[in-house]
């Protein structure tokens, strides 16, 4: 029976007849579900959000850089978790946020695991893609499934493959980004490699699920620490009267031993501000303090306050106070050409300026409305009038649609945290 389970599953994956269920249809789950459907697999996406399910049924994408028109095969979507009974492979793509105490919150992963466990059947492959700390797949999910009397690698198969979705990236996508995979047992590893080789060009197997979980944390911790380094350089350059953008640009001409990172108003999104804390938390359990991770987090979280200090200083030079000043925020999404405001530093910048009495408005072509300080703000039109009637314009996100020269032409004062105005010389511009 164990051999039969593996051979049957291997065969239906190879023939692209395996029924795939994706749990969680967000920025990670939706592109993955569509990709499996595109290459011919029967796919059902499962999500508790009825609005998402209805949009998928109507062929409407709610992820900016995902278009249903690019895919040849229809994707089914449902809120009914019992559809998992039909699945040959179930892939978990749910969020893993931090709690209020900045500890890992794996409640959605555990909920997804329990849901799969209720419908688990022999010969089924389960893959976790959600970012988490080393040991999660082995210590939390495996017991949930083996409690049913099934044995991993014999009756069912369990694996981990970290998501590497970068929303808005024009060069790298799900297909051409190498996919790291690992299984609880050798059979699990073989099957997860076979599964993902159907939808991506390069599969990278590693020795254990713990290793695969650590890979994702290294990737994002690397970025967090290097961003913190360059953010601190921005502060140091400010104290020294130097242009940090010029410094980075010149350093980037070195063809070896240097990789340019760029400063900004702080970290945003669901990965880089969050993932390193999973590692730091895990190491605390082993009586080890991840000092560099914690220091980087401290620097990055202070950047919104540094931006606000620049706003205060610039207004003071104009003999104006923040209190009562009209402050226009350009871009509230956490990254360029995205509508994602999760952990966006713009929210912190706006909150700090609001607390100082500033009258806050914003414009973002990708975010039409925003919950802010117990109210709903709406993106205002970006016109010569809205720019000229603001006391200060703060560029927080450098969306491609922003016309830097028009902004400089009409705004009386600009705080540019993203170097949107590079190459433009004007006394009204204050760069980070």
Within 8 A by CB and 6+ apart from 268, the residues are 333, 334, 335, 340, 341, 342, 343, 344, 345, 346
Does pLDDT of 196 surpass 60? yes
Q: How far apart are CA 390 and CA 353, in angstroms?
A: 14
- Run of H or E including 395: strand 392-395
Query: Which pairs count as long-range contacts for 145-153, CB under 8 Å and 24+ apart, including other chains?
Result: 145/113, 145/116, 145/117, 145/120, 147/117, 148/117, 148/120, 150/120, 150/122, 152/184, 152/185, 152/188, 153/2, 153/183, 153/184, 153/185, 153/186, 153/187, 153/188
Does pLDDT of 77 surpass 90? yes
> Same topology for domains 2-207 and 223-431, yes or no?
yes
- Confidence (pLDDT) at 69: 65
Percent share of the chain, pLDDT over 90: 85
- Confidence (pLDDT) at 72: 54
- The domain locations on the chain are 2-207, 223-431
When pLDDT is averaged across residues 383-404 and rounded to a whole number, the result is 97
SS3 90: strand
- Confidence (pLDDT) at 4: 82
List 93, 188, 237, 271, catalytic entry:
271
Q: How far apart are CA 273 and CA 269, in angstroms?
A: 7
- How confident is the model over 214-272, as pLDDT tens digits? 999 999 999 999 999 999 999 999 999 999 999 999 999 999 999 999 999 999 887 88
Is the dihedral angle over the CA atoms 22, 25, 31, 35 positive or is it negative? Answer: positive
| 93 in active site | no
- Confidence (pLDDT) at 57: 86
- Confidence (pLDDT) at 1: 54
Strand partners, 205: 181
Between strands 326-330 and 359-363, the pairing is: parallel
Does pLDDT of 71 surpass 80? no
Superfamily per CATH, domain 223-431: NAD(P)-binding Rossmann-like Domain (3.40.50.720)
Work out the mean pLDDT of the chain and round it to a whole number: 94
- How confident is the model over 120-167, as pLDDT tens digits? 999 999 999 999 999 999 999 999 999 989 999 999 999 999 999 887
- Confidence (pLDDT) at 363: 98
The interaxial angle of helices 291-317 and 209-240, nearest 10 deg, is 30
- How confident is the model over 313-365, as pLDDT tens digits? 999 999 999 999 999 999 999 999 888 898 899 999 999 999 999 999 999 99
- Confidence (pLDDT) at 73: 58
Strand stretches in 212-368, DSSP E: 326-330, 359-363
- The count of other CB atoms within 10 Å of the CB of residue 194 is 18
Q: Name the fold adopted by 2-207.
A: Rossmann fold (3.40.50)
SS3 145: helix
Confidence of residue 273 (pLDDT cuts 50, 70, 90): confident
- How confident is the model over 282-307, as pLDDT tens digits? 999 999 999 999 999 999 999 999 99
- Confidence (pLDDT) at 314: 97
């Amino acid at each position: 029976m164990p051999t039969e389970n593996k051979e049957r599953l291997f065969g239906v994956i190879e023939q692209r007849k395996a029924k795939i269920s994706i749990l969680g249809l967000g920025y990670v789950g939706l592109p993955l579900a569509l990709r499996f459907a595109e290459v011919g697999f029967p796919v059902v996406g499962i999500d508790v959000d009825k609005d998402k399910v209805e949009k998928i049924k109507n062929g409407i994408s709610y992820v900016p850089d995902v278009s249903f028109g690019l895919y040849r095969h229809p994707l089914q979507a449902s809120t009914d978790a019992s559809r998992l009974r039909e699945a040959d492979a179930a892939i978990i793509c749910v969020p893993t946020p931090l709690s209020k105490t900045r500890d890992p919150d794996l409640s959605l992963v555990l909920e997804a695991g329990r849901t799969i466990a209720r419908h688990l059947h022999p010969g089924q492959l389960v893959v976790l893609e959600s970012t988490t700390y080393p040991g999660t797949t082995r210590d939390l999910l495996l017991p949930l499934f083996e409690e049913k009397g099934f044995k991993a690698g014999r009756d069912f198969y369990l694996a981990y493959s970290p998501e590497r979705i970068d929303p808005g990236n024009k060069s790298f996508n799900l297909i051409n980004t190498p996919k790291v995979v690992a299984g609880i047992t050798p059979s699990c590893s073989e099957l997860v490699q076979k599964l993902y080789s159907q939808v991506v060009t390069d599969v990278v197997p590693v020795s254990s699920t713990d290793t695969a979980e650590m890979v994702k944390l290294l990737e994002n911790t690397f970025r967090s620490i290097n961003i913190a380094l360059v953010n601190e350089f921005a502060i140091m350059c400010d104290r020294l009267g130097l242009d940090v953008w010029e410094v980075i640009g010149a350093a980037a001409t070195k063809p070896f031993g240097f990789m340019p990172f760029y400063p900004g108003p702080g970290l945003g999104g669901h990965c880089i501000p969050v993932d390193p804390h999973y590692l730091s938390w895990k190491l605390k359990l082993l009586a080890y303090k991840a000092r560099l991770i914690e220091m980087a987090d401290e620097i990055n979280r202070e950047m919104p306050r540094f931006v606000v200090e620049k706003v205060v200083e610039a207004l003071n030079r104009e003999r104006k106070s923040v209190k009562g000043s009209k402050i226009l925020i350009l871009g509230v999404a956490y990254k360029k050409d995205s509508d994602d405001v999760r952990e966006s530093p713009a929210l912190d910048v706006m909150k700090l300026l609001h607390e100082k009495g500033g009258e806050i408005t914003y414009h973002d072509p990708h975010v039409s409305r925003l919950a802010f300080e117990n109210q709903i703000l709406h993106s205002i039109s970006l016109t010569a009038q809205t720019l000229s009637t603001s006391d200060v314009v703060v560029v927080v996100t450098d969306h491609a649609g922003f016309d830097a020269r028009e902004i400089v032409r009409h705004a009386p004062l600009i705080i540019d945290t993203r170097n949107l105005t590079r190459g433009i010389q004007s006394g009204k511009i204050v760069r980070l």
